[in-house]
Amino acid sequence: MAQMPVKHYAMPREKYPIFYHLDVQPEVITVHSYERCRLESDGVWVGEMTLNKAFNNPDIEVQDNPGYTNTSMYAHDIERYDRERLIVDGGTLAPQHAGKVFAKIGASRIFLNRTFDQQRTNKGGWEVGDCLIYVIGMDRDGYPRPSMTVTVENMNRKAISYRASSIMDGQPIVTVFKPFAGDDFTKCSIVLRHSAMLGFTSNLSDWEPLDYTCLVEPILLPGVTVQHPATIAPDGTATVTVNVVNIETDEVLTRDCELFLEATGGYLPLTRVAITNGAGSFKVKALGLETGDQFKVKVGFRLMTGLADANFTVS
């Protein structure tokens, strides 16, 4: 059964003194962020990025429970939280940071579904489905932002994920590429941007180095191919065969999904096509067109449109 390959890429790009720990579970991805601290002359630890104080109070008990609270009428389990800024021994984060001082500045999560542990996660209907890109970004003060579904926010702009998330004022930390609606996060490719100076940790181990997200973004999600006659008679009908493929290898992906159609001319009896085991077909009619006219049918996913064109000449 042909599937999209799962890749994990690490990009040592961030200049900020932030250390990330990425935890990937089937239904939730969490990124924890810690900033390096310096000791001020008054004996107070201050974060190098946020310039906020960190607390070194032995009477404060550090809890593993992040303490989620309601943030809206729909959310019982929020996607981002900021904890008390407690001092953390760098050695508990990674061996190379033993003896250094960090403070936890927050965490953010991406949920797979619209509910998690029987609670709503505030996801919209279009944020679950086929061919999606999720991003957790960092704001200008170093705090992790709530996750966003770039393919929803960026549907009309069609920019690469890095530009799209940057436009929305979120320096991307984690970018997740979800091929199909039925895939959990263990079947998604991930790009993590991290501090070249501080590194990162994760429960995943198979990380590959990467220079730029745009080099791999086109091959981390499924593509579409079409086969059809080049010509169609006036008011005639043609059948277009469609396959969902691995763009890098052209291998047909034996998955079920739904594709969306848009025509620049003629008539489409149906504007959606069901794909079964990676294959499907649809009909198009050159209704009202004359010899010499040209038109095309664009084929893609709901939010990743126009991945392939079926071009016709009326003759």
User: Is 84 within 8 Å of 67 (Cβ atoms)?
Assistant: no
Q: Which of 279, 249, 305 is nearest to 5 (CA)?
A: 249
- Tell me the per-residue pLDDT of 202-211, one tens digit each, with 9 for 90 and over: 999 999 999 8
pLDDT in tens, the chain (315 residues): 688 999 999 999 767 788 999 999 999 999 998 988 888 877 777 888 777 776 654 444 444 434 333 333 233 344 455 545 678 889 999 999 999 989 888 888 899 988 877 676 777 787 889 999 998 888 777 778 888 888 776 665 566 666 666 666 567 889 999 999 999 999 999 999 999 999 999 999 999 999 887 778 888 999 999 999 999 999 999 999 999 999 999 999 999 999 999 999 999 999 999 999 999 999 999 999 999 999 999 999 998 889 999 999 999
Q: What pTM value is reported for the model?
A: 0.86
3-state secondary structure 63-108: CCCCCCCCCCCCCCCCCEECCCCEEEEHHHCCHHHCCCEEEEEEEE
Q: Which of 196, 198, 16 is nearest to 101 (CA)?
A: 198
Helix (H, G, I), strand (E, B) or coil at 143: coil
Amino acid at 148: M
- Tell me the per-residue pLDDT of 238-283, one tens digit each, with 9 for 90 and over: 999 999 999 999 999 999 999 999 999 999 999 999 999 999 999 9
What sign for the dihedral angle of Cα 86, 89, 90, 95?
negative
| Residues ≥6 apart with Cβ < 8 Å to 34 | 18, 19, 20, 21, 88, 93, 102, 103, 104, 105
Domains with residue ranges and CATH for the chain: 8-219 (no CATH), 223-314 (2.60.40.10)
